[in-house]
Every structure is written in structure tokens, then in C-alpha cells.
Structure 1
Amino acid sequence: MTMTGQTSATTLGAEVAAAADTRTPQRRLRRSARSTGPLGTVARYLASAVVVVAALLPLAWMTISGFKARSEVVTSPFQFFPDIWYPQNYVEIVQDPAFMRALGVTFGGAILFATLSLTVNSMAAYCFARLDFAFKRTLWAIVLGTMFIPQMAILLTSYIVVTRMGMLNTLAVLVIPGATAAVHIFFIRQFYLGIPTSIEEAALLDGCSRWQIFLRIFLPLSKPVFVVVGITSFLAFWNAYVWPIMTITEPDSSLTQIQQYLATFRSERRVEYGMLLAGSTLAALPVIVLFLVFQRYIISGIRISGIK
């Protein structure tokens, strides 16, 4: 590709990104407030406060219950705060090398899984959105059809496949299966369909290949939708329990996931509620931080998902 093609493709991508949203959320909020009046504004803020309290209350209870002794967690009548604060639960969890190892391995695996998911699903979405090839509609119908197959329905067959491939008790068995998801391909494809075709045509005239168009135009514009898909993939890996239990079978394995570790506090005879809730609180912190860092892009990605 010529230097002119690179400059033109990059400039066109920047112009589309700058013109994607002409009104800021603050201006839309002020306009909505003027149209509904003061009573509507108060009602909207009250409704938002109720939703926030309802969403944060379980998290607050879990965090505070981590400071309770086992008997206080299940005491009757219910009490929100403990009579005696018992921070030993958090201290023991943090000092346990198995917990820190499981937390680090799960976080690293989730990052790798999200990266692989974005790479594969974005390329597939671009092919279905922009390229013409044989049996495209038939293949797209098959891809969409997989969205309606419950994961539990293929759990046993997936286990047989990875067993015969010798993938048990490896990082690959946790990362590779499930990286491709029809719902993510569909979501990214809908976003790509909203990008004007004139940009591609101009880039092709300047000598850009399809691969260069994807890398230099589509990927820079995909930040909001990538954040949504990436965080969804991250959470899917982070919260996985059944699949790691089936595929990571070695005792005290270095690949033990955080949900597997937390399950050790539950048994048929006894449940260590204080330790379990303390560990669950610490395990939720990386996800909460992730949402706080990328919340602006998450909101933007959800908004643009309704364009097409």
C-alpha cells in the first residue's frame, strides 16, 4: 500500500470517529430535563436512587458479612451488621497462597480469553458484514442458529472432544473452547454494518487491501463495541465453574480457577460462610474495578448496539 493510501485510510477513520456523536450526553440530559420539568427530574433521580440501592445492597451485605463469624451469617432474626467485627476471614484468605494463585491465574486467563475472543469474533464479523463469498447466507444462518443451543446441551460432547485432543489440565482447555461466540459475532457485525461503505471504497481506491482496511479503519472505530464484548468475555471466563471443574482435575493444580477455590469452603456437612463471603468479596474487586474504568465505553457500546 502506498503512503497516500495509509494517510487517506487513517484520516477517513479519524473523521468518522469525530463525527460519530455530535451531541454530548450532558446536552441531551439538559434537553430531557427541560422537556420533563422539575417533577419529572425529581422522579427520575428517585427512581435511579432506588435502582442503585437495590443493586448495591447485596454487594454491601456480602462485604460486611465477610467480617462476621460463621454463626452470625446465618443468625435469626437477620441482622445486617455483626455484633463483633471479625476481620480474620479476610486476613486468612489473603494469606492463603492458593487463593492468590487462583486469583492471578484466573485474571490472566480471563485477559487471554477476552483477547482471543475479540480477535476471532471481530474478524468473523467483518467477513460477514463486508465480504461476499459462497454460501454466505447459509453460513450466517448456521452461526445464528448456534445462539439457540444451550451450553449444557453440548457440555458432554465438548468434554469428549478436548479429552481426545489431550487438552485436559492445560490452559488451552480453559481458553480455546468458547472463545468464538455467535452472539459476539452478531453484535460486532451489527456495528460494522453502520460504518459507511464509502470509507472502504475510498481506501480501496488508494490501494488498501481488505486486511489493511480492517486494521486501520474498522479496529480504531470499534473501541466501544470491543469494550462491551471484551468485558462480557472476561466475565464469562471469570465466573466459569462447571467447565473448569470438569477439565482441571489434578489436585492442587496451578490452573485452579477462583470459582473452584471458593467451592472448597462448601461441603455436604459444613459451609464456612464467613470465609466464603470474604473470598467472594475479594474475587469481585477486579470485576468492579474493570467496570469503573471502562464504564464510559460500556454505556457508549450499549447505545450504539441499537443503531441497526
Structure 2
Amino acid sequence: MARTTELDTHRRTTRDARWWFFATGKGVAGAIYILAALFPLAWMLIAGFKSKTEVIKTPFQFFPEVWKWENYVQILADPSFLRTMAWTFFGAVLFTLLSLTVNSLAAYAFARLDFRFKRTLWVIVITTLFIPAMTILLTSFIVVSNLQMLDTLAVLVLPGAASAAMVFFIRQFYLSIPSSLEEAAMLDGCNRFTIFIRLFLPLSKPPFVVMGITAFLLYWNSYVWPILTITSPDKYVVQQYLATFRSERSTELGLLMAGSVLAAAPVIILFLIFQRQIIGNIKLAGLK
């Protein structure tokens, strides 16, 4: 009996030791991952307070010798930077709203409607997921050029509004909505469009949050397409503006870092506001 008790105690001690070992290992690995992920952002933030030469000073120095608040004050006082931020934000909001509208309607059609060649069209839509964007860059440029859309807001918003990935994601959510709700709405005299507006849209918050933020980030971080299609400085998006700033004022790296931090701020704030919804929706998608 005593030996059995000793064995149970030994096993319990061993099990607790293993649990603490793995828990400590996970904590250390998580801390290292978080530090590695946040270090570039922290360095960019600190570099915004450095002078022109301190940013690339060797040996590497994380903190500046003298904190220069003037960099942030100067970039915020630059009317071209503020105009670019406002222009990009307006375009990103417009692109997000258009993307959610177009792709949710397409998702509803593929999820709930029956029409000819539905499966064939769905295969074609899904196939576009496997086509890299760079492979159709030249043909897309030729199309928008022939449509005389170059150097306009439309060339930034319209070409990428329809997304097969977004249609697929929202369609999967619509398939999970019970058909009994739709049948009840039809009995009340609602047509398909009314059902979509009054029933499906109010229930679409989970996928709309994830896909809306994705669309916003896609527009905000776009660089290659604006470089090809936008030539007027007053229509630059923020990434295009920063690239031009770096080429024209390559010695003012502290100012560039300050501008980069301010350009990243809306994205970070957006994530902080919707982080619970994003994480919750990802978990829900994983369970489904």
C-alpha cells in the first residue's frame, strides 16, 4: 500500500514537472515570437525620433542620443502627406464598401440561387484563386488604359473589387444559415433581394468584419498597381508617397520613419478595434 502511494506520488510529480516544462517552453517561445514580431515596428517608431544620420548609424544604436520630436511635427505639418493620407483613407473605405457589396451579392447567388451553368461558373470563379496577380498585371493595365481609367480613383477601386476569395468566404457563411429562415421570409411575401437585404445582411457581420478589414488592408498597402496607373502626385496612395519620398529625400530617413509610423497607425488602430471579432470569426471558421 505504501509502495503504491509512493508510485502515485512519483507519477504525479513527474506529470506536474512535464506540465511546467512544456508550459514554460510555450511561454518562452511565445515571448520570443512576440518580440520578433514587434521589434521592427518598435524600431521604426523609435527611428522616427532620430536625426538624419542616426537611423543608419554604425554600430547599431536602438535609442537616439537626442530625441527629435520635430520629425513627427514636420511630417504632420506637410500638407502633401496629410492629403495623401486622407485620399488613401477615402479610397480604402470606398474600395471596402464596393468589395463587400459586389462579393456578398455574388456569394448569395452562388449559395442560395439556382440558375443555369451555376457549377461551371463557380469552377471558373474558384480557378481565379490559382492565378497569381502578377501574371495578369500587363493585361489588366492594357484594359484600364483602353478604358481611359489611368490616373483616376476608379483605376484603384474598380479592378480589384471582385474577389474570388471573398466570394468563397462569404458563401461558406451563407450556406450555414438555415434555409427555414429564408422559406419563412418567402411565405411573408419577400422576394430574393428583400431576403438578402433584410435577412442575410444583418447576419453577415462576422464575415463582413474579416473581409472588410482584408479589403481595407489590401488597398492601404497597395504599391505595384498604383505605381503603374497613377502619375499625378495629388492622387498618390500612401505607399506610393513614401516610396517617392524615399527616392527624392533619401537623406531624411528620420522623417521617412516618422511618416511610415503614421501611415501604419490606421491599420494598427483598425486591428485593435476589431481584434475580438477577427479572432472570434477565425475560431468560428476553424470549427466549421
1:307–1:143 distance in 2 versus 1, CA, 3 Å: farther
* 2:278 equivalent in structure 1: 298
User: Residue in 2 aligned with 1:94?
Assistant: 76
> What is aligned with 1:112?
94
Q: In structure 2, what is the Cα distance between the partners aligned to 1:195 and 1:118? A: 18
Partner residue of 1:275 out of 255, 258, 261: 255
Of 104-113 and 264-273, the range deviating more from structure 2: 264-273
What CA distance in whole angstroms lies between the structure 2 residues aligned with 1:196 and 1:294?
Answer: 27
Q: How far has the Cα of 1:279 moved from its partner? A: 0.6
CA distance in 1, matches of 2:83, 2:72: 16
What amino acid is aligned across from residue 112 of structure 1 in structure 2?
Answer: L
SS in 2 for 1:220: coil
Match of 2:11 in 1: none
Partner of 1:76: 58
**Which of the two has higher C-alpha Rg?**
2
Q: What's the CA shift for 1:53? A: 2.4
Pair 1:140–1:303, CA change in 2 (3 A): same
Match of 2:222, SS state, is: coil
The alpha carbon displacement at 1:304 in A equals 2.2
- The amino acid across from 1:302 in the alignment is I
Q: Secondary structure at the match of 2:61?
A: coil
Residue identity opposite 1:155 in structure 2: L
Q: How does 1:169-208 map to 2 (within 5 A)?
A: 169-208=151-190
Q: Tell me which stretches of 4 or more aligned residues in structure 1 moved more than 6 Å.
A: 36-40
Distance 2:22 2:201 in 1: 40
Root mean square deviation, CA, Å = 2.0
TM-score, normalised to structure 1, is 0.83
1:214 aligns with 2:196: yes
Gapped runs of 5+ residues in structure 1? 1-35
Contact (CA 8 Å) 1:170, 1:248: kept in 2 or not?
Answer: yes
**Pairing partner for 1:129 from 111, 114, 130:** 111
Aligned residue pairs total 271
Determine helix, strand or coil for the equivalent of 1:281: helix
Distance 1:219 1:47 in 2: 41
Work out the CA distance in 2 between the residues paired with 1:70 and 1:86: 10
Letter in 2 for 1:261: Y
SS in 1 for 2:235: coil
Q: 1-side partners of 2:131 and 2:257: how far apart?
A: 33
| CA distance 1:258–1:218, change in 2 (3 Å) | same
Percent sequence identity over aligned pairs: 62
Query: Which residue of the partner structure matches residue 56 of structure 1?
Result: 38
How far is the alpha carbon of 1:224 from its aligned partner? 1.4
Q: Secondary structure at the match of 1:266?
A: helix
Name the CA distance, whole Å, in 2 between partners of 1:218 and 1:46: 44
Cα 1:270–1:285 change in 2 (3 A) is: closer
**1:166 maps to what in 2?**
148
Q: 1:275 to 1:135 in 2, by over 3 A?
A: same
